[in-house]
Amino acid sequence: MTTDKIKRGLKLVSIQLVGSDFNMPAVNEKQSYKYDHSFNFRYNTDGQKIVALVEVKTTSSDLEDLKAQLNLNFLFTIDNVEGIKKDELPRDLVADLNKVVVGTTRGIMFNHYRGTLLHNALLPIVPDIEL
């Protein structure tokens, strides 16, 4: 058995913002924020497609009425499906997907939070171990 990474021909086809919800109180002071996130991957064995469903919720323990939520869908195609099962994606593939999904989600959060109370919020680094 080789430890070489399988070349998969992974391509990001599209990103869709499928939902966003913002409730921002008119407060200008710095707050502490909590980020809850979920990343779910779906694999279509027939079409060699992977969909990443992302949900990020931002809340504040200091301000009960501050709430922000983003829902994103990422569509990937994959050329080489060797070793991929319908219910279980290989760890190396999930790690590659996570790099794209997490980084892009952070950029979209930064863009959507611009001009709001969350503009200066520090976005967390999400280690692979949490995904």
Closest CA to 112 of 8, 29, 15: 15
109 Cβ contact list (under 8 Å, min separation 6): 56, 58, 70, 123
List the chain domain ranges: 10-122
What does CATH list as the number for 10-122? 3.10.420
pTM of the model: 0.79
19-54 pLDDT, tens digit each: 988 776 665 566 677 788 888 898 886 768 999 999
